[in-house]
Chain A
């Protein structure tokens, strides 16, 4: 069974802390994505990566950075956590565009981050 695994289901962090969210996929997918889900706003793309060490900004990259040192792992970093970053964070992966037309992304179960 193919999987995208997010290291934590729930996290509580203090304002100003540096926060690391980890995501690992076992499908040998080239593309990996970080989204946040907020009520009424749906899923918004923070960053994505289409290859090792490659990254692209999504729609809301401010306050975040990412790291992709290995193909299977994509990390989201909150440089200095703030209360408006309290959200559900979802990691996803997919093969290259030409291969993924039938099913899109595979998502992880999400990390509920609360910043206090």
Chain B
């Protein structure tokens, strides 16, 4: 049973608009969340993270929001650029578990020029 879920396999957005990628989780023991970005034929690269003690973290065009009561996090990209087109994975770590992360199934973002 997947503990981290990304229910939208794909998302298409116009350049300059906001992209919102969503992620839900089931385990209340998760203490740390990350977003990774993956281009074809490359490994995932770290994008942004958030601790469970926060509800927002911002880095340039990227903002991650965490709603612990809903067990939901989202990644906002503003403004979206064609180079943002990639697969985005959210990942969650369970407290005191060897830094092992659980990954969602990914959302493929397409930013149209």
Mark each residue of chain A from 71 to 95: 1 if its CB lies under 8 Å from any CB of chain B, else 0: 0000000000000000000101010
Q: How large is the interface on A (under 10, 10 to 19, 20 to 34, 35 or more residues)?
A: 20 to 34
When A and B form their complex, what is the total count of cross-chain residue pairs whose Cβ atoms lie within 8 Å? Answer: 69
Q: Across the interface, do A56 and B43 meet the contact criterion of CB distance under 8 Å? A: no
Q: Give chain B residues whose Cβ lies under 8 Å from the Cβ of A9.
A: 41
Nearest neighbor of A102 in chain B, beta-carbon distance: B49
A residues contacting B by CB (< 8 A) are 4, 9, 31, 33, 35, 40-45, 48, 50, 56, 58, 90, 92, 94, 96-97, 100-110
Please, how many residues of chain B have a CB less than 8 angstroms from a CB on the other chain?
A: 29
Q: Across the interface, do A40 and B103 meet the contact criterion of CB distance under 8 Å? A: no
Q: Across the interface, do A4 and B43 meet the contact criterion of CB distance under 8 Å? A: yes
> Within the complex, what minimum Cβ distance (angstroms) separates A113 from chain B?
14
Task: Find the residue from A56, A100, A108 having the highest chain B CB count within 10 A.
Answer: A100
Q: Known: A40-B105, A42-B89, A42-B105. Is A100-B42 also a contact (CB below 8 A)?
A: no
